[in-house]
Every structure is written in structure tokens, then in C-alpha cells.
Amino acid sequence: MVGGGPSGLIAAINAAGNGVEVLLLEKTASLGNKLLLSGKTRCNITNAEPLENFLLAYGDNGKWLRNAFARFFRDDLIDFFAQNGVICKQERGGRIFPASDAARDVLFALQKELKATGVEVVTDCAVKKIITKGGVATGVVTSRGEFPASAVILATGGASYPQTGSSGDGFKMARAVGHTIVTPMPALVPLVVQEVELAKAMQGVSLKNVRLFAFACKSEAIVTDWLLAATNTKKYPQGNYLIGSEFGELLFTHFGLGGPIVLSLSLAINKALSATPAVSVAIDLKPALSLKQLEARIQRDCDAYGKRTTAGILAGLLPSKMVAPFVSLLDIPADKRACDINAVMRGRMATALKSLRFNITRSLPLSRAIVTAGGVSLAEVNPQTMESLTVKRLFFCGEVIDIAGDTGGYNLQAAFSTGFQAGKSANHLICRVQER
Ligand SMILES: Cc1cc2nc3c(=O)[nH]c(=O)nc-3n(C[C@H](O)[C@H](O)[C@H](O)COP(=O)(O)OP(=O)(O)OC[C@H]3O[C@@H](n4cnc5c(N)ncnc54)[C@H](O)[C@@H]3O)c2cc1C
């Protein structure tokens, strides 16, 4: 067993038993380093979404997980933790956390079960290479020498947050034994904008209930007619210039944009950035109102508070820190009195509120991403057993595989489900070999 993250821990637990001895090799000094950081240390282990929606959270690759989820899914995971003393609770967006809000309780439960199943753990042991003979995995070479094995499970994670131990070693080892590695890419990652000064001026402002649109073009080329007319996402055209849209919470940072809806769109944006010359976003700050309704609202405010300034009118529509930077975009003097704001200016204000635009230059690097997209190609792993289709008795689980989910507990559920499947399959395989 290579790697002591959530997928490796549950794989080791399930590989043990029926006389099978399991050795877990972990590169760092401790187990579950990333797990302890997860969910801002509260550990969002899974989500309450029904299966079909759940699979959609992994994009096109989601259907590959159907087998793993059929064997070990959310309720099995919640039961597993309940049996080990960790009761779970559900929060907004179906997110499921330990009731104690403590990721360390999740890790303790896994470690307890690891001990109960007799798994031997060696930390500070970096695996360097998978040994194969005639297309069969027979052991590993490590920083502490060679270890022969009847089967090898690779659970080394992705390449993000390398300080936790996941630094892409598994990709190199899998490639060395003949696997295709889908190019690793940052997923669930903040975005850097060209208009850095504007973002910086609004740094720290968190907006709830806004809609973010991403386009494969420069911001000035965004066609806004439909965007401004529609309040219903179903009306949005699926033209090739619209990359995607998300509704929810967004955060301005000193370099650009963060927050859940930005993270959710980031992988699609990163893919577009590698394929098209320009990517931009538009933030609809008032998605509940149509352009007309918003113009009427501004007019009402101007009529009611004629002595207020442009900035004063906008203060009723925006968080205070956004007002000055926003006014600078409008080409209307900040001190212009509301009674002097004409229809053209009102239209400009409403349009800007419905489509605050930024050009995206890049995302933060892979090391800063919550998840690594890409990894061991799904075409080369048996989805029913997690065994390699290239090297016999080699299994994969967790983020090392080409699976990346949305925020909301999807990545940990994938790690636990594929880990369970890999562990059980390795156990069955070894038992069969020992019987012969
Ligand atoms: C800040 C942050 C917050 C997150 N929050 C959530 C959340 O709330 N919910 C959610 O679903 N997902 C979350 N994720 C994602 C989730 O944590 C990962 O998808 C998950 O940990 C992947 O599990 P894994 O076991 O595949 O890999 P990892 O957890 O990365 O574990 C891999 C292990 O393998 C070890 N290893 C690597 N190379 C070697 C080697 N050569 N030899 C031996 N050992 C090696 C590493 O040291 C590490 O211990 C978060 C991620 C981050 C970074």
C-alpha cells in the first residue's frame, strides 16, 4: 500500500483480513496530512446529492465511478464512521461533515480501524518505483530498501499542496510501468485577472447569490444582450463562447477571484485557457432582477434621494468597499447628484451591475489547487476492481486517477469509494492466489 491519505487508509483497511498482511508505506512523518486540512479542517467527507447528480460533479469522467459507488457510497461511508464513533451532520448544499467539525476525528477513526485490522504502517518511507516482472507488480523500491509484495496499491494522491506529501510521485511511477498520464491540471483553484488593481481595490469582499459567466473571448467581446435580458439560466445560449456559469458565492482577492463558484468553474476555464487565446468572466451582481427591473430600481432610488451622489445611489446596491472602484468603471462623476443622472447613465449603471467583467490571465498554479485534475488514464484501469489493465496486481485509488470533483465532499467520497474497491479487490486477488 503506497500512500497514507484517505484513499490509501481505507484501501489498506479493506485489503487486510482473510490472512492477508498489509504494509502501508507513507512518505511523510504522518498519515492523512491533506485530510486534516480538508474542509478548512472540518472535513467535508461527502454530499447528500442523489447518485445521478453526484456523478455529474465529476464532469464527463463521473460515469466511470458508477461501479465504485455501487459497492461503497455515501451511506456506507457514513455508517463506517458511525461504527468508529464519528457521527456526521448535513449542512447547506448537502455537504456532510463530522458533527464535531473536526477532520482529526475522521483521521482518528481511520487510524483506529487500521490498527484493528492489523495493518503495519511505515512512515518516512518514500516509494520510488514499482517493481514489475513479466507485466505483474511484485513489489516496490523505497528510500528504505525494497519490499516484495503480492499486490501493490498506488494511492499517492495528486500534485497539489505538495507540502502534504502529494507531489505527483504516483504519476511518475505509473508512467514508468507503462501507464498514460492525462496531463495534470489545477482544479478548484482561484483565478488571476488582468484588471488586478480593480480586484485589489475590492479585496476581501465576499458576494453571496451572484452569477458568474465564463466566456472564451476577451471581456469587451462578451455579447451581453441575452445575458442582460435573461434571469433564467435555461435561456442562456450554449454557444461555443460560453464556457459555463455558476450561481453562489464569490470572493475578490488581491490577484483576482476566488470563492466557491470561481473554484467550480476553474477547471473548465483552465482547459479553455490552454485551447483558446482569451478567456473572460462577467459577474451578474443582481441576478434576481432583469436589466429593466434594475434600471427601474435605480430610477426609483434617484427619484427618492435626488440629493445623493452616484456613489450614494450605488451604496444602496453594493457593499461599501465596492462602490468607489465600481464608480470608476462607469464614466460618471462619483459626486454627480442623483437628480442629474439621466437614462443613459442609469442604463450604464444597470449594465455594469449585471456584467462586471474581468479578463482571466491564468489560474494559481497546481501547487495551490484544491484538487489535481488529470492523472492515470481511466481507459487503463478496471472500474470494477481498480486494477491496472496494463500491469497485473497493480491497483490505483484516489486522486492519482484521472478523477476531479467539484467542491462539496465529492473528492473525498471518490477517494474513499475507489480506495474501498481497490482494497477489497486486492484482498480477493491475494486470497485466490494463496488458495492455489
Ligand atoms: C486545502 C484542501 C481542502 C480540501 N477539502 C476537501 C473537502 O472538504 N472535501 C473533499 O471532498 N475534498 C477536499 N479536498 C480534496 C481531498 O483532500 C483530496 O482529494 C484527497 O485527500 C485525495 O485523497 P488521496 O488519498 O487520493 O490523496 P492524498 O490525500 O493526497 O494522500 C496521498 C498520500 O500519499 C503519500 N505519498 C505521496 N507520494 C508518496 C510516495 N512516493 N511514497 C509514499 N507515500 C507517498 C502522501 O504523502 C500522502 O500522504 C481538499 C484538498 C485541499 C488541498
Q: Which CATH number goes with the domain that contains 71?
A: 3.50.50.60
What amino acid occupies position 230? A
353 closest CA partner among 391, 274, 417, 296: 296
Q: Which of 156, 161, 371 should be mutated for ligand 1, with most atoms under 8 A from CB?
A: 156
User: Same domain for 219 and 137?
Assistant: no
**From the alpha carbon of 32, which atom of ligand 1 is closest?**
49
Q: 148 in helix, strand or coil?
A: strand
Query: What is the average pLDDT across 385-414?
Result: 98
Looking from the CA of residue 33, the nearest atom of ligand 1 is 49
Domain that holds residue 242: 191-363
Q: Specify the pLDDT at position 157.
A: 98
Task: Tell me, in angstroms, the distance from the centre of ligand 1 to residue 398's CA.
Answer: 8
pLDDT at 274 over 70: yes
CA of 158 from ligand 1 middle (Å) equals 7
Domain boundary among 363, 388, 415: 363
Query: Can you tell me the mean pLDDT for 415-423?
Result: 98
Q: Please indicate, yes or no, if residue 1 is contained in any of the structural domains.
A: no
Please say whether the beta carbons of 307 and 338 come within 8 A: yes
Q: Which three cell numbers stand for residue 14?
A: 479493506
Does residue 36 carry a pLDDT above 60? yes
Q: How far apart are CA 433 and CA 276, in angstroms?
A: 51
54 CB near ligand 1 (under 6 Å) = no
Domain boundary, last residue among 336, 363, 390: 363
Based on the domain organization, do 219 and 356 belong to the same domain?
yes
Choose one of 340, 363, 386: the last residue of a domain: 363
Is the CB of 161 inside a 6 Å radius of any atom of ligand 1? yes
Residues 357 and 404 in one domain: no
Indicate if 76 and 42 belong to the same structural domain. yes
Domain count, the chain: 2
Question: Does ligand 1 have an atom closer than 6 angstroms to the CB of 186?
Answer: no
Task: Report d(CA 43, CA 100) in Å as an integer.
Answer: 10
Which band of pLDDT confidence, cut at 50, 70 and 90, is reported for residue 228? low
Q: Is 245 in the same domain as 353?
A: yes
Residue 398 CB less than 6 A away from ligand 1: yes
Q: Are residue 14 and residue 106 in the same domain, yes or no?
A: yes
Residues 136 and 212 in one domain: no
Q: Give the residue, 181 or 307, on which the prediction is more confident.
A: 181
Residues 169 and 26 in one domain: yes
Check residue 331 and give its pLDDT. Answer: 86
C-beta separation of 123 from 116 below 8 A: no
Is residue 282 located within the same domain as residue 145? no
